[in-house]
Amino acid sequence: MSEKQGLPLYLRKCIRVLKRNFNSQPFTAGEARRILPGSKSYQYFLLFRLVHAGRLERFGPGVYQVTKAIEEPRISVYLTDVGKKIKKYLTKEGIYFIITGLDVLIVFAHHLPFRFFHLLYVEKASEEWTQETLERDPHLRCLINPNRREISIGSDMAQGVELIVLRPTSSFYAVEDGVATLERALTDLYFEISRKDFIFDLAEFVRIFYNVTSTRVINYPRLFRYANRRNVGNEITYLLKEFSKNIDIPEEYLKKKIKFSEYIRKLEGISEVIRW
pLDDT digits (tens, 9 = 90+) for 20-67: 999 878 899 999 999 999 998 888 889 988 887 778 887 767 888 888
User: What pLDDT, on the 0 to 100 scale, is given for residue 79?
Assistant: 94
Q: Say yes or no: 40 and 140 in one domain.
A: no
Helix (H) or strand (E) holding 156: helix 148-157
CA distance 180 to 175: 4
Q: Say yes or no: 123 and 23 in one domain.
A: no
Determine the Cα angle at 229 with ends 256 and 190, to 5°. 80
Q: Is residue 202 part of a domain?
A: yes
Number of domains in the chain: 2
User: What pLDDT, on the 0 to 100 scale, is given for residue 271?
Assistant: 66
Q: Is residue 150 part of a domain?
A: yes
User: What pLDDT, on the 0 to 100 scale, is given for residue 1?
Assistant: 33
pLDDT digits (tens, 9 = 90+) for 123-176: 999 999 999 999 999 999 999 999 999 988 988 887 789 999 999 998 899 998
User: What pLDDT, on the 0 to 100 scale, is given for residue 78?
Assistant: 85
Q: Say yes or no: 131 and 183 in one domain.
A: yes
Q: Is residue 3 part of a domain?
A: no
Name the average pLDDT for the chain: 88
CATH number at residue 31: 1.10.10.10
Query: Within 13 Å, how many C-alpha atoms sit on residue 11's CB side?
Result: 20
Q: Is residue 72 part of a domain?
A: no
Q: Say yes or no: 60 and 125 in one domain.
A: no
Mean pLDDT of 220-237: 96
Instruction: Domain of residue 107: give its range.
Output: 81-270
At 30, the amino acid letter reads: G
Q: Is residue 184 part of a domain?
A: yes
- Domain end marker among 45, 67, 89: 67
CA distance 80 to 231: 28
